[in-house]
Amino acid sequence: MLSKNLEKALNAQIRHEAESSQIYLAMASWAEVQGLEGVAQFMYAQSNEERQHMLKLVRYVNERGGHAIVSDLKEPAVKFGSFKSMFETLLKHEVFVSQTINTLVDISLSEKDYATHNFLQWYVAEQIEEEAQARTILDKIKMIGDDKAGLYLFDSDIRNFTSVGKPSEN
Ligand code: OFO
């Protein structure tokens, strides 16, 4: 059985993951109207992944005798400036999510809830991967600079990062 404290903290994480999904969906839509199909596809896939992260938490909280709460969400931005600044925002957001996961790990340890500690390890590993991926993409963008041909190549290249595929496939 989850403690009330941990239940509350896990519910806060459900909200973070749902907000991540909304942010990446907004990025996907923005990239799509800019005509960058590859970037849009990547962001749609990221958005789907975050929704899966959220659902995994919902199921866990309920399975452990808590009640997963579906809350209202912060409205994401509509425009993201440039592709570089969009991916900088993405990286910053993932670093924030990693911190929230670390806080949850701390709470689970202090409460000696080893089941939750074990459950959270999946998220710890996932965050390492997501931060690394965002840094790799940013490095590529920095190499391209403002070069239009480079941006075109980047757009087709980023499809290789998409592991989940198009939204319609999910
Ligand atoms: Fe990328 O944030 Fe979920 O875990």
| Contact assessment for residue 82 and residue 146, using Cβ atoms and an 8 Å cutoff | no
Q: How far is the CA of 155 from the centre of ligand 1 (A)?
A: 23
φ/ψ of 150, rounded to 5, equals: -65, -40
CA 19 to chain CA centroid, Å, is: 9
Q: Is the CB of 19 under 6 A from ligand 1?
A: no
> CA triplet 11, 75, 51: central angle to 5 degrees?
50
Torsional class of 162: left (φ above 0), alpha (ψ -120 to 50), beta (otherwise) = beta
Residue closest by Cα to atom 1 of ligand 1 = 94
For residue 1, give the nearest of 59, 60, 58, 66 by alpha carbon: 66
Among the atoms of ligand 1, which is closest to the Cα of residue 46?
A: 1
- Give the pLDDT confidence score for residue 165 in this predicted structure: 41
Q: What is the DSSP-derived secondary structure letter of residue 96?
A: H
Q: What CATH number did the domain enclosing 152 receive?
A: 1.20.1260.10
Q: Is the CB of 134 under 6 A from ligand 1?
A: no
Q: Is the CB of 126 under 6 A from ligand 1?
A: yes
Tokens of 29: 């839509």
Q: How far is the CA of 93 from the centre of ligand 1 (A)?
A: 9
Question: How far apart are the C-alpha atoms of 107 and 72, rounded to whole Å?
Answer: 24
Distances (CA, A) of 168 to 25, 59, 78: 14, 24, 22
pTM of the model: 0.92
Q: Encode the chain (170 residues) as per-residue pLDDT tens digits.
A: 999 999 999 999 999 999 999 999 999 999 999 999 999 999 999 999 999 999 999 999 999 999 999 999 999 999 999 999 999 999 999 999 999 999 999 999 999 999 999 999 999 999 999 999 999 999 999 988 878 888 888 998 898 776 544 444 43
Dmax of the chain from CA atoms?
56
Question: How far apart are the C-alpha atoms of 100 and 8, rounded to whole Å?
Answer: 13
- Give the pLDDT confidence score for residue 163 in this predicted structure: 55
- What is the domain range of residue 136? 4-167
Tokens of 68: 């997963």
Give me the number of domains the chain comprises. Answer: 1
